[in-house]
Amino acid sequence: MTPTTTKTKYFEAVGRRKTAVARVRLFVAPKSSYEVNEKSLEEYFATKEMQQTVTDAITHGKAAEKFHITAKVSGGGISAQSEAMRHGISRALLVYDITIRGRLKKIGFLKRDARAKERRKFGLKKARKSPQWSKR
């Protein structure tokens, strides 16, 4: 026997920032809503700035449809996770409608922000900070 499952069409993409990874799915829906790790957007991202970062791709992309967006986010800090989610939403919007590409590219939402913490080198305190030098 096969279980009955409803096949709903969605657009999927992965967004990354530092060590944060967001797997995003866009479902065409009658009204916009967000779900991050089975929590609402307001519940997961406490500050308005981070909520704004996540929703920027939809508002600036000016997509014709409304979407129910689900995301599985892991790794990194909460700020990097919000930016990874924005990156994933932007990529998923391209799968949905390629004509949005020009607008999203101009703002810089399609570029993976590669800046990450530099590794610590031996003989040093941090990545570049050296121990205090003493003459005697």
Cβ neighbors of 10 (< 8 A, separation 6 or more) are: 25, 26, 27
The whole-number pLDDT of residue 5 equals 57
Q: How far is CA 133 from CA 11, 120, 124, 129, 130, in A?
A: 56, 19, 12, 11, 8
- pLDDT grade, residue 62 (50/70/90)? confident
The whole-number pLDDT of residue 23 equals 95
**3-state DSSP percent of the chain in helix, strand and coil, to 5:** 35, 25, 40
Q: 127 φ, ψ to 5°? A: -60, -40
- More reliable by pLDDT, 4 or 134: 134
Could you tell me what percent of the chain has a pLDDT over 90? Answer: 66
- pLDDT grade, residue 125 (50/70/90)? very high
For residues 92 and 98, the answer to whether their CB atoms sit within 8 Å is: no
Q: Are strands 33-36 and 66-74 parallel, antiparallel or unpaired?
A: parallel
- Whether the per-residue pLDDT at 94 is higher than 70: the answer is yes
Q: Quote the CA–CA distance of 53 and 32 in Å, as a whole number.
A: 16
Partnered with residue 27 across adjacent β-strands are 10, 68
- pLDDT grade, residue 74 (50/70/90)? very high
Residue with tokens 């997509």: 63
- pLDDT grade, residue 2 (50/70/90)? low
Cβ neighbors of 89 (< 8 A, separation 6 or more) are: 13, 15, 24, 26, 54, 57, 58, 69
What is the distance in angstroms between the CA of the first residue and the CA of the last residue of the chain?
A: 82
Against a cut of 0.75, is the pTM above it?
yes
- pLDDT grade, residue 6 (50/70/90)? low
Q: Across residues 69-88, what is the average pLDDT?
A: 94
Structural domains of the chain, ranges and CATH numbers in brackets: 10-107 (3.30.230.10)
